[in-house]
Amino acid sequence: MKKIYLSILSLFFTAQFAFSQTEYYFPGEKFDPEIPSPEEFLGYPVGDWHTRYDLIVKYYEKLDELSDLVKLETIGYTHEHRPKVILTIANESNMANLEAIRQTQVQLADPTQPKPNVSQMPSIVHLGYGVHGNEPSSAEAALLTAYWIVAGQSELAQRVREESVVLIDPTLNPDGRDRHSLWANSNKGFPPVADPLDREHNEAWPGGRTNHYWYDLNRDWLPLAHPESQTKVQWYHQWYPNVITDFHEMGTNSTYFFEPTKPYGSENPVVPRKNYDEINPIFADYFAKYMDEIGSLYWTKEVFDNSYPGYGSTYPDIHGGLGLVFETASSRGHLQASQRGDISFAFTIRNHVVNSLATLEAAIDNREYMHDYLREFFETAVAEGRKDPAKNYVFGDEYDESRNRLFVQFLLDHQIDVYENNADLRVGNNTFKKGKSWVVPTAQPQYRMVRTMFEYVKEFADSVFYDASAWTMAAAYGMPFAAAPSAQSGVEVKEVAKPVFEFPEGKAYAYLIDWSDYFAPKALYELQKAGIHVEVVNRPFQSQTQEGAVDFAAGTLMIPMGFQKIKDTELIDQLKNIANKNQQKVYKVETGLNLSGIDLGSNSVGAVQQPKVIMLVGPGVSSYEAGEIWHLLDSKVGMPITKVNTDDFGRVNLFDYNTLILASGNYNSLSNSAVEHLKDWIQRGGTIVSLKSASLWLNRQGITNESAVELEEKAEPESLPFASSRDFEGAKAVGGSIYMAELDLTHPIAYGYQMKNIPVYRNSNIFIQPSKNKYLTPIRYTENPHLGGYISDQNLEKLKQSASVLISPSGRGRVVHFFDNPNFRGAWFGTNKLFLNAIFFGNQMD
């Protein structure tokens, strides 16, 4: 022990509660009296309040201070600067050898190294809690579980300390947790109100499920859009845990769910069958035993999707561990009425506590078995990868260095081996140039993640999807890629270097910046913010530059030196700095007379307006899509966006803005006068960027007049078994899948794109016909568009006849409609620029 903690006085005051509470959660267990229980530390029984995240961390700090069996580390920070912590618990000798234990575990997961003696290795158990902030029982369960492991005196608690290293993440989503906890605590009644209609049980929009940017972090283990998951996955690869938990809550009238999930239909195609068929049932027996003991109801195998690789319970399945999802009925608040009587917060916490203990017991009972499985997982990965006919995937975008860099870094973050491509290579319609493309061999330990990145899946055992049914990340990044058995691997890429471009010296008539690079919009916005006047050249041309004759595409930025409000020297300093910071190459021209194409003063050259963007948010609006847009503009452009609640729209003067964003949603709460104001504004030149169902609302208001695709509906059976309704109706949804679309490269929406074909992500059933104006459907699906994911035949027919992006002129303004999601989960780098083009060039689109 590091220090004696409790005073006699505090022992006296806490003892009377300690009995009832520890008896409820840990019947019959004795505890080391020198370690304060969570209740003693917090001053209230666990379950009485939603514990603030800083207090959760403080309790762990106290355990770290008092016990030699504990180590607390901070692995990163959330957007709102809350620390992300991991609490490690093991017996004294394992704590003394922690780094050696970690290295042996990493060695076990590396089939190129000798296999360590697993009989000597402790089980590595990662208990993860609270990825959804408004599913709060799990983080409270984490407090109690940590206490039990550190201070429990039972034989099992001692075995856990001896035979495992337990790594606890008390809250995967601290920002969302605090948002919800504040809500539940501040609306708590005395006595508590169980009525489900009470304000306590009905959070305000957007709720605490998501993180700062309204993202579901239980989808982010694959895309890694946020620091919570970036640091988590980096940490994960330092340990390769054997068993990983992910604790959730579901509806108040439900009971408890643990794995196995639904066989085949909800499983991931790259995970070995052994995980589902053999290991999950072994663990399930433990969960059942513990739940039977307390008389709590539960179910398994029915739903719960386990296929999308970005779930906290699926990512470990693709890394040789056993990922386990648990769901308890929620009290959502401190006490809520259900069909089985009032559900208390403490009841939901206890469900997760007993399953935490069951997980620990199962993990140590099957310690060697799970170690052998981890080894076997990575050995079979290499062997299967060697047999894969693709042999290698080659990828690279000739025109966009930043997006290449982001994708290579992304692969490295997932510990995938990447090599430089040694020779120019032509596969199908794509040319992969040496120096601008990379090779990923399939014969590598991360083979199953390689498949996740590069394979399109189209065949499914089921047709109902809880979530995305496609996740090919190379497509999300807009990477040209192909299977290339004959590709030659060059040097292995260990880190991704940013290019440095030399700034052209000497007197300039104008400067030019190509729009192809991913960060060109960020550079443009910074130039505008610095007071620099920037124009866009709307046709292709060739200029004499410091590097000789160069061809430029439509959409190239031009900074004319004769029309600036700031001094030349200041402008050049700013331009140099901004270009350097954003890795943009700057070209200098000394004349406006071009070698070919239009000249720099052509009528097809015009000023780029500085975007002033407003977005409506609040009830009825998709917080996910609004959050994706907010995050995109913050993190990829550095542009502020005014987020206005639909309630406050009556106070908005739209003439203070030039662009209004409407994410999917219904905007029925806007008053008639607000809609009239909107109509007036767009008639006078405003741009609305609208996503999916928002476009239907605009149609209903008469602001646009587009038509849905109508097909002769196939006759449905007149009656079907009641029990089949979910499957039958679910099969009609487009849960999230990938399609090939074709761009009109001359349209401003396509500026920065050089290739006609682009994969797009769709997760809606809205099929709108192309515009009656033949110039105004700049993105449509190809004849055979289906790339990956599930879609019904009927929907595919509708899709083929519909628009992906279309423009509806309205007076002097216009609506730019997106019927796909160009910013999905912060992962669709390949289509982000379409969305940004609508913001920067909306007024050049009709």
Candidate ranges 124-132, 141-149, 741-749, 833-841; the one touching Zn ion (CB under 5 A)? 124-132
Nearer to Zn ion, 132 or 533 (CB): 132
Token digits of residue 775: 């110039």
| Torsion angles phi and psi, residue 824, rounded to 5 | -50, 120
Smallest distance, Zn ion to C-beta of residue 262, A: 17
User: By CB neighbour count within 10 A (0-12 exposed, 13-18 middle, 19+ buried), where does 207 fall?
Assistant: middle
Selection from 88, 127, 107 nearest residue 374 by Cα: 107
Candidate ranges 5-13, 17-25, 125-133, 670-678; the one touching Zn ion (CB under 5 A)? 125-133
Smallest distance, Zn ion to C-beta of residue 703, A: 37
Q: CA angle at residue 414 from 409 to 418, to 5 degrees?
A: 55
Q: Which of residues 134-173 bind Zn ion (CB under 5 A)?
A: 135
User: By CB neighbour count within 10 A (0-12 exposed, 13-18 middle, 19+ buried), where does 539 fall?
Assistant: middle
**Whether residue 174 has a cis bond before it, omega within 30° of 0:** no
Candidate ranges 92-100, 133-141, 308-316, 421-429; the one touching Zn ion (CB under 5 A)? 133-141
Nearer to Zn ion, 135 or 401 (CB): 135
The Cα 15–Cα 37 span in angstroms is 10
Selection from 640, 639, 660, 665 nearest residue 649 by Cα: 660
Check if the beta carbon of residue 692 is closer than 8 Å to that of residue 767.
Answer: no
Nearer to Zn ion, 250 or 550 (CB): 250
Nearer to Zn ion, 216 or 397 (CB): 216
Instruction: Answer positive or negative: Cα dihedral of 627, 628, 633, 635.
Output: positive
Answer yes or no whether residue 747 interacts with Zn ion by CB under 5 A.
Answer: no
Q: How many residues sit in the footprint of Zn ion (CB under 5 A)?
A: 3
Smallest distance, Zn ion to C-beta of residue 173, A: 10
Smallest distance, Zn ion to C-beta of residue 756, A: 41
Nearer to Zn ion, 132 or 161 (CB): 132
Smallest distance, Zn ion to C-beta of residue 267, A: 19
Smallest distance, Zn ion to C-beta of residue 457, A: 24
Nearer to Zn ion, 248 or 375 (CB): 248
**Whether residue 260 has a cis bond before it, omega within 30° of 0:** yes
Nearer to Zn ion, 249 or 317 (CB): 249
Give residue number: closest CB to Zn ion.
248
Nearer to Zn ion, 208 or 735 (CB): 208
The Cα 315–Cα 235 span in angstroms is 13
Q: DSSP per residue over 570-620, as a string? A: HHHHHHHHHHHHTT---EEES-S--SEE--TTSTTEEEPPPP-EEEEESTT
Collapsing DSSP to helix, strand or coil, 125 comes out as: strand
Smallest distance, Zn ion to C-beta of residue 134, A: 9
Token digits of residue 23: 């008896």
Nearer to Zn ion, 202 or 486 (CB): 202
Check if the beta carbon of residue 323 is closer than 8 Å to that of residue 314.
Answer: yes
Token digits of residue 190: 């005395």
Candidate ranges 127-135, 556-564, 647-655, 762-770; the one touching Zn ion (CB under 5 A)? 127-135
Q: Which of residues 638-697 bind Zn ion (CB under 5 A)?
A: none
Smallest distance, Zn ion to C-beta of residue 248, A: 3
Q: Which of residues 246-305 bind Zn ion (CB under 5 A)?
A: 248
Answer yes or no whether residue 132 interacts with Zn ion by CB under 5 A.
Answer: yes
Answer yes or no whether residue 180 interacts with Zn ion by CB under 5 A.
Answer: no
Smallest distance, Zn ion to C-beta of residue 135, A: 5
How many other β-carbons are positioned within 10 Å of the β-carbon of residue 721? 8
Q: Which of residues 196-255 bind Zn ion (CB under 5 A)?
A: 248
Nearer to Zn ion, 126 or 132 (CB): 132
The Cα 38–Cα 170 span in angstroms is 13
Element (H, E) at 740: strand 737-743
Smallest distance, Zn ion to C-beta of residue 53, A: 17
Smallest distance, Zn ion to C-beta of residue 310, A: 13
The Cα 752–Cα 746 span in angstroms is 10
Nearer to Zn ion, 132 or 179 (CB): 132
- Interface residues with Zn ion (CB under 5 A)? 132, 135, 248
